[in-house]
Amino acid sequence: MSRTKSNHLFQFKLFAIAQDRCAMKVGTDAVLLATLPKFIAAHSILDIGTGTGVLSLMLAQQFPTAQITALEIEESAAMQAAENFANAKWSSNIKCQQVNFETFESNQTFDLIITNPPYFIDSLKSTDQAKNTARHATIDMLNRWLAKSYDLLNNNGKFAIILPAASQEFTEIAMKNQLFIAEVIDIHSFEDSPVIRQIFILTKVKQELKRNRFWIYKAQNEYSDAYIEHLKPYLTIF
């Protein structure tokens, strides 16, 4: 992936992400969450915990007429995301709100709700409060997020999230909130290595579960063909 030497600017093919005021920088999890699932005809999108705004901008590239609402609780990150949106060609379609998702109110429902959440659950915390906010979650928090997302999701909409490999626990949380897992994408570093991340697609209507595998590298320091295919429209290195 392409960035400046200072790591303050991440250059994509069609937009740039300034990230010097964000605790969490652009990373592999976000770009995979934005591109691996097959999102179809999303007209209204809610991005929970937008951070730098990378998910919203990658989805705006996919759906240039979609209306996107990006939420961010941390003030400096919210301001920087708003600036990144303002500098992009889809600026009129993306709105950033500095708000806690749990207190967010909306008169509309959404075709797609997506989040790359803080998921270092109950782990050792940093002395940097901004990083703690961006990186640490609890099971109770995920439970509350799904409960609220159920109310904000269209009847035929999708909820997408990326998490560490912990499918059983998350399945129980989803079921508790009347959401069904429609798709799981198991992400590996290499084809024969353990699962390191999972993308879950949830729906209100139960459907046949789809399960897919994806690996990032085919050899040391060599991206897989699938990774290149999915990220080629976005990353300048391909």
pLDDT of residue 137: 58
Spell out where 99-220 has E strands: 110-115, 153-163, 180-188, 195-203, 210-215, 217-219
- % pLDDT > 70, the chain: 88
Q: Where are the domains of the chain?
A: 47-205+216-231
For the chain, give the number of residues. 238
If you ran DSSP here, which 8-state letter would residue 3 be given? B
Instruction: Classify each residue of 27-43 as buried b or exposed e, where b means 16 or more C-beta atoms within 10 Å of its C-beta.
Output: ebbbbbbbbbbebeebe
Task: Tell me the C-alpha distance between 179 and 203, whole Å.
Answer: 6
Q: Helix 54-62 and helix 75-86: axis angle, to 10°?
A: 30
For residue 130, the model assigns a pLDDT of: 43
- Do 189 and 216 touch, CB atoms closer than 8 A? yes
Provide, rounded to the nearest whole percent, the portion of the chain with pLDDT above 90: 79
CATH number, span 47-205+216-231: 3.40.50.150
**Predicted pLDDT of residue 129:** 44
Tell me the three state secondary structure of residue 140: helix
Question: How far apart, in whole angstroms, are the C-alpha atoms of residue 185 and residue 38?
Answer: 11
Distance of alpha carbon 192 from alpha carbon 40, whole angstroms? 31
- Which residues of the chain have a pLDDT value below 70? 1-7, 119-137, 166-168
